[in-house]
Amino acid sequence: MGIFDKLKNVFNKNETPEPITETQEKMDKGLEKTRKTFGQMMNELMANFRKVDEDFFEELEETLITADVGFETAMRITDELRQEVKLQNAKKPEEVQNVIVEKLVSIYEENGLEEQNEVNLQSEGLSIILFVGVNGVGKTTSIGKLANQYREEGKKVLLAAADTFRAGAIDQLIVWGDRAQVDVVYGQAGGDPASVVFDAVKRAKDEEADILLVDTAGRLQNKDHLMKELEKIKRIIQREVPDAPHEVLLVVDATTGQNAMVQAKQFKETTDVTGLVLTKLDGTAKGGMVLAIRNELNLPVKLVGLGEGINDLQPFNPSEFVYGLFKELIVAED
């Protein structure tokens, strides 16, 4: 049974919802603003139309774009919905709304068939994870929170302060290292990031660390300079650990909506991004962007920030996300 069928059964009272876990509860609460905004948009759309005609589909497309599901996603859903509404002979507002949600869910699931949402950690030896992203999105904070989680799981973790260009970046990572109780390898402000990474990889190997988390510069003079810097760092890493980095995680701020999509596209062009860390999901009504990310960029979300606490960065569960986003949009049918 797919997610949509489960949602439908619960709201048609054919099935009792399963007790939710703590992580599900966090995701549910984190999506509250998005769900409320999305619901209001759908209610307004349904209240305004008298029949399912071309004006309705145009308004639906605008509604979906406003809900941050992405331009391509909105166009695809609208086009497919034209056919689906005819096939299902949907006429009542609640029937049409359910078809819209079903289509959103099916596109989301379809694009995630081959998706790996777990962070790629090696079963043996050193795992190296590179973090990229523009300044101010919560990159260093996410690294610190993840380091704390891995340390609590019994892993030996090291941090590398390779963002040597931003004032205060090294100090910020050192503070997070203290909070997470893990060591930080760093050099001089304005120094060579690749040199810091070289020292960090050497120390991680010497000390038989399990995980090395590398903070990188969020913005250099231009895209070419940024690309060259990241490539240099990767070459240094691969000399010592040929199959590394095992992840290149792009950190984006969920509150920026489509701007985060633009950043993701740019970084994907610049370097081999393997997944996303979505921060501040609990503080935004723009959670629909996760649909756009999966449909338009084919990048898996690996981690989500659902609060300010050190334990509020958690693995991304696609089923929990889609359930939390749509659970109040399914309308019980007669």
**Annotated binding site for GTP, which residues?**
133-140, 215-219, 279-282
What Cα–Cα distance (Å) separates residue 144 from each residue in 151, 170, 213? Answer: 11, 12, 9
State how beta strands 301-305 and 275-279 pair: parallel
Residue 275 phi/psi, 5-degree rounding, is: -175, 175
State how beta strands 183-185 and 157-162 pair: parallel
Which tokens sit at 202? 């050497």
183 beta partners: 158
306: three-class secondary structure by DSSP: coil
Q: Residue 32, Cα to own-chain centre: how many angstroms? A: 17
For residue 315, say if its preceding peptide bond is cis, omega within 30 degrees of 0: no
Which tokens sit at 6? 């489960």
270 beta partners: none
How crowded is residue 221: how many other Cβ atoms within 10 Å of its Cβ? 9
Q: In sequence order, what DSSP letters do the residues of 255-302 get, joined into one string? A: GGTHHHHHHHHHHHHHS---EEEEE-GGG-S-TTHHHHIIIII---EE
Exposure of 213 by Cβ count < 10 A (0-12 exposed, 13-18 middle, 19+ buried)? buried
Query: Which residues does the annotation place in the binding site?
Result: 133-140, 215-219, 279-282
Q: Residue 192, Cα to own-chain centre: how many angstroms? A: 30
In 3D, which of 11, 2, 1, 92 has the Cα closest to residue 330? 11
In 3D, which of 217, 267, 272 has the Cα closest to residue 247? 272
